[in-house]
Every structure is written in C-alpha cells, then in structure tokens.
C-alpha cells in the first residue's frame, strides 16, 4: 500500500484511505502521528490490496477504513472490512466526498472528528446497545388482519406483519370458500388483498367473492354480472389477482408475490394452494420434498423482507386407519402434505375440519395447530356455511368428528 514503508509493523491504529492524496492530507491533519496508508489501485481493487497487505494490517489493533463517500467507496469499505479479523475493522463516515476535498474546504477538524468517531464494522443483522431499544418498542406488532371468527381470533390474535399462516384442510372441505371469507373480511378491514387462486379461475373466485358480499350463491343461482358490479366497484381498487395461465412454477409465483408485496404494496396475500406450486416446480422428478424445502425457505425470506403476511393453503396426506379427513378426522401437523419444512417455517397453522357425510355437512371446526405469537393450540370454534347467501358464519355447534379429536 502507498505509504506502508513509512510506518513500523503493528501498533494501536492505522487508517486506510482510497487515494494517495487523501493519505497525505489525513497525515497532515493529524500531524503525522498515526499511520496512514492508501490502497494503490482504486476502490474496485481494494479487497485485493487488503489481501496482499493482510499480515501487515492485522498487526494493528484497529484498522480504520476511510474510503470515498460514493457508492463504489462504500461497497469497497464493506468488502475490505469482511477480510479483517472480526472486531478489528472500523468504517469512517466522512461529512464530504473525501479527505482532500474537506481539507481544501478548511474542514480538516471534521475529518479528525470523523476518524475518531469511526464505528466498529459488523455484519448486517447484528444488533446491540441502543439498537435494542428500537427492537423492544417494535416487539409487539399489532395484527394487520383479524379473523371474523371469534374463537379463532381469540386463539391466534389475528395475523401480524411478516407471518406465514398455513391453512390445512382435506379435499373439498371448503378451503376456497374460507379463503373468500377471509378475503372479504380483509377488504372490510381496509386491506388491499393479493389473491393467487390456482384451483379456481379468477372469474370463479371473483364471482364467489362478490356473490357472498351481496348474499347470493353464484354456484347455485344464475347471478348476472350486472348484479355484482356495484359490489366490485366498492372493492376493485383493493383487489389484485394473479391470472393463472398454466405458469405455476416457483419462480413465476415468486414474481407475483414480490410484485404484489413491493410494487403494489398489498396488505395480505392468499396463495391457494402450495401443493400445486410444489408439483409444478418438481415436474414429476420425484423431488417434491426438495422443492418444498426451497420454496418455503424462499417464501419465509420474502415475507421477512417485505413484512407482508401470506396465507398459504396446504393439502393433507391420505389418512391411514379410521375415518378420512373428509369425514371429520382431526388434523395434526404430521398430516400436512409435502416437506416437514412447510409446517416448520410457518408462523401459524390452523386446520379447517368438515365431515362431508354428517347429517349437517354445512358445519365445520377450526383447530389451531401452531401459533408462535400466542403459543396457543387446540379447538378454536366453529363455522357454518349458509348455502343461500354463500357466506361462512361463526357457529356455536360442534361437528360430528371422531372421539379422539376432542382430546387432541
């Protein structure tokens, strides 16, 4: 490094600048008291210069990196700090572009102050000291969405920013109906909702959603679009759909998730369902578990970065002995189809159980299997499907399930 030969090996502190004139300027400002050197070939080659002089730099207790305050300089400073032994690298933030500019502007004292106020470099994500106060103040995030079913809401206390909530249910249990009920309640709470319906077309989902808003069953009755337009006008600005045209691989779905979260800034996303995405990604390779692991890890990372909560619908494995889930068998986490990473990385899991062969098949049970926020689990109330209005409503009755389900 430029100037390295002027100083003895080792000591309490050395400052590394980006340019030779900056090194001379800083040495002048602090009366040649502390070692100052410069990288020889600019910011782009800074890491290589640090590697070449690493043994000399490591002999100092403290290495202050004082590069230019532009993007290349900042990136180079971070890259060089990673090369040094943890706890040795300090990064200086100058009040101007570089040392020499500040010296020419007669602001040399500010450079010296900045040198002594250099902060200890740490990898992104390290929190300590005063940073912890901000974490403490934000530790009890208010729910961004509250369930319209009182017992389920009491158990889970809603859904918070940055959470993955898994909805598990058997085949034809009414998952899409429940998703529409959640979508409508989210709209009523003022949220913008992103919907990725892979089991239904957008038209089917939208007609069912608007039909329940006006109290009409669009599956049983021929409800003309004109009767739904007024309802659509009320919510159209808060609805974002993915129009599925058979492109269902994980990269395509993640493009939609990212766009909805970042560009559209939706408040809640509903993905119905994850089993289709895993199957499309695996494409018959037999590596469903591998793709499920990757998908969930990427989803968890995305949700953490954007803080937009996602409700993910999951299918169940075929049950072994006893009644199948479609006849009221209680759901457990081991029943969730796919990799163990699906329940492991989900913040919340709740099941929707319905005995389709019961005397009254319109009744369903909620069961919370996991809730990181409250730590609660177990039976979480009931719902009844009103066939006439296509609305899912809280109910006091319990459905006909296996005796062991009551003790779950």
CB 353 within 8 A of CB 169: yes
Pick the closest to residue 242 from 273, 207, 278, 197 (CA basis): 197
Q: What is the pLDDT of residue 283?
A: 64
- Note the maximum CA span of the chain: 92
Q: What does the pLDDT read at residue 75?
A: 92
Q: 16-20: long-range contacts (C-beta < 8 A, 24 or more apart)?
A: 16/50, 16/57, 16/63, 16/64, 16/65, 16/66, 16/67, 16/80, 17/66, 17/67, 17/98, 17/99, 18/42, 18/43, 18/46, 18/66, 18/67, 18/68, 18/73, 18/76, 18/98, 19/68, 19/98, 19/100
For the record, the structure tokens of 69 come out as 């305050």
Residue with tokens 């919907």: 195
- Which pLDDT score, from 0 to 100, does residue 361 have? 86
Going from N- to C-terminal start, the domains of the chain cover 4-120, 150-406
How far is the CA of 170 from the CAs of 272, 319, 355, in angstroms?
13, 10, 10
Residue 387 to residue 127: CA distance in whole angstroms: 53
For residue 203, report the phi and psi dihedrals to the nearest 5 degrees. -60, -45
CATH C-level class of 4-120: alpha beta
Q: Which CATH class is domain 150-406?
A: alpha beta
Q: Closest Cα partner for 30 from 119, 99, 104, 121? A: 99
Residue 52 phi, psi dihedral angles, 5° rounding: -65, -35
Spatial CB neighbours of 336, under 8 Å, sequence gap ≥ 6: 166, 168, 314, 316, 317, 342, 343, 349
| pLDDT of res. 50 | 95
Residue by residue, pLDDT tens for the chain (408 residues) are: 999 999 888 899 999 999 999 999 999 998 988 899 999 988 999 999 999 999 999 999 999 999 999 999 999 999 999 999 988 999 999 999 999 999 999 999 999 999 999 988 887 666 667 767 766 666 567 899 999 999 999 999 999 999 999 998 888 888 889 999 999 999 999 999 999 888 888 888 899 999 999 888 888 888 888 888 898 999 989 999 887 666 555 677 888 888 989 888 999 999 987 877 776 665 655 566 777 787 888 888 888 889 999 999 888 877 667 777 777 788 888 888 777 778 888 999 999 988 888 788 888 899 999 999 889 999 999 999 888 888 888 987 554 443 343 332
Question: Which residues, 6 or more positions from 281, have their beta carbon under 8 angstroms from its beta carbon?
Answer: 249, 250, 291, 294, 295
């Amino acid at each position: 490094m430029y100037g390295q030969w002027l100083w003895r090996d080792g000591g309490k502190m050395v400052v590394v600048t980006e340019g030779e004139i900056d090194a001379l300027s800083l040495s002048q400002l602090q009366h040649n008291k502390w070692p100052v050197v410069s990288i020889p070939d600019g910011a782009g080659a800074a890491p290589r210069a640090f590697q070449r002089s690493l043994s000399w730099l490591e002999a100092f207790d403290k290495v202050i990196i004082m590069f230019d305050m532009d993007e290349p300089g900042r990136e180079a400073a971070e890259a060089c700090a990673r090369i040094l032994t943890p706890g040795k690298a300090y990064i200086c933030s100058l009040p101007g572009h570089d040392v020499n500019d500040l010296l020419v502007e007669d602001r040399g004292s500010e450079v010296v102050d900045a040198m002594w106020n250099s902060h200890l470099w740490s990898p992104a994500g390290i929190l300590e000291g005063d940073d912890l106060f901000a974490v403490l103040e934000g530790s009890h995030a208010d729910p961004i969405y509250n369930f319209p079913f009182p017992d389920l809401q009491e158990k889970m206390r809603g859904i918070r920013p940055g959470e993955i909530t898994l909805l598990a249910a058997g085949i034809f249990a009414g998952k899409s109906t429940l998703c529409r009920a959640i979508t409508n309640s989210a709209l009523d709470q003022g949220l913008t909702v992103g919907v990725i319906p892979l089991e239904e077309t957008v038209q089917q989902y939208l007609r069912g959603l608007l039909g329940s808003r006006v109290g009409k069953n669009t599956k049983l009755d021929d409800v003309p679009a004109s009767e739904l337009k007024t309802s659509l006008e009320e919510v159209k600005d808060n609805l974002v759909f993915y129009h599925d045209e058979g492109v269902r691989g994980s990269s395509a779905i993640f493009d939609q998730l990212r766009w909805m979260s970042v560009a559209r800034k939706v408040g809640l996303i509903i993905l119905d369902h994850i089993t289709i995405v895993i199957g499309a990604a695996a494409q018959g390779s037999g590596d469903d578990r591998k793709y499920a692991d990757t998908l969930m890890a990427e989803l968890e990372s995305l949700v953490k970065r954007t803080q937009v909560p996602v409700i993910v619908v999951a299918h169940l494995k075929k049950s072994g002995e006893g009644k199948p889930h479609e006849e009221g068998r209680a759901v457990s986490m081991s029943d969730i189809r796919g990799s163990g990473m699906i329940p492991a990385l989900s913040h919340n899991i709740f099941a929707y159980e319905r005995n389709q062969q019961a005397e009254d098949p319109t009744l369903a049970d909620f069961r919370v299997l996991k809730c990181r926020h409250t730590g609660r689990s177990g039976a979480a109330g009931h719902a009844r499907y009103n066939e006439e209005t296509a609305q899912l409503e809280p109910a006091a009755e319990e459905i006909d399930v296996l005796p062991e389900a009551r003790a779950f």
